[in-house]
Structure 1
Amino acid sequence: MSTPPPASTVLRRAALAATGGAVGTAARLGLGMLITGAPSAVLTVNIVGALLLGVLTARLPSGDLRILLGTGLLGGFTTYSAFAVDGVELWEASPLLAVGYIAVSLAGGLLAAWLGLRLGGALGRRSAS
């Protein structure tokens, strides 16, 4: 069992996550206003967010910057709850479209995360040489 971090570390990291989350949420709102149609906007932010989080995870060790950018910024940017609501609303309007949206969201997110991890790792190998 590990020792919990000091209160100052917990507070600093909570503030970093909150700051990043505010920026990420604003970025999601802005992108959602530019891309018409809620499912399209949510699909875009979730796949782009998965890609960026993959790169970030491969490039940055655990620490304050990863909390600010990963947990905060990209956590606020991507949105599972909107994805779930969009899926239910689409299901009520068109079950076939809902299944396609859910499948593309899941497969696209997984593929983007995999690609981000690979890109981040490749960037790390290139900068180390």
Structure 2
Amino acid sequence: MSAVVVLVTCLAGSAGAVTRFVVDGEIRRRWAGSFPWATLVINVSGSLVLGLVTGAVLGHGAPSVWKTVLGTGFCGGYTTFSTATVETLRLAQARAGLAAVAYSVATFLGSAVAAAVGLVLGWQL
């Protein structure tokens, strides 16, 4: 891998992290409460983008560097599954067991379905 690809991937990761910060802030501002909607939306939408990129690379022969830059870089900086785990534990500690289970299931299934939809769309576009 060239130094340019590493640098561009780092920049894409930075852009993903900044995008996550902005999206998180906007969602929290609009939907106050203890349920972690922001992280759920971020992880599901990031999975969709990763699916789209992967589908475009696999289905249309787009350069695999796009998968590295956008998938590893941007989506890696944008999504935050470690935060989802911490938020699940916080819900459980707050004795919101049903919310913790719902959040975990929604994160897992939502992200998997979004990635699959993105893969199909990316393949077809």
TM-score between both structures, scaled by the size of structure 1: 0.83
Q: Which runs of 5+ in 2 are unaligned?
A: none
Q: Distance in 2 between matches of 1:66 and 1:118?
A: 16
Which of 39, 44, 47 is the matching residue for 1:47?
A: 44
Which amino acid in the other structure matches residue 114 of structure 1?
Answer: A
Which residue is 1:27 aligned to? 19
Q: Distance in 2 between matches of 1:92 and 1:14?
A: 40
Q: Which runs of 5+ in 1 are unaligned?
A: 124-129
Which of 88, 108, 111 is the matching residue for 1:106?
A: 108
Cα RMSD after superposing both structures: 1.5
Paired-residue identity, %: 32
Q: Distance in 2 between matches of 1:17 and 1:59?
A: 18
Q: Distance in 2 between matches of 1:67 and 1:85?
A: 27
Q: Distance in 2 between matches of 1:82 and 1:62?
A: 31
Count matched residues.
Answer: 115
Q: Distance in 1 between matches of 2:97 and 2:85?
A: 14
TM-score between both structures, scaled by the size of structure 2: 0.85
Could you give the per-residue CA deviations for residues 69-115 of structure 1, whole angstroms, max 9, x where no partner exists? 11111110101111111111111111111000000100000000110
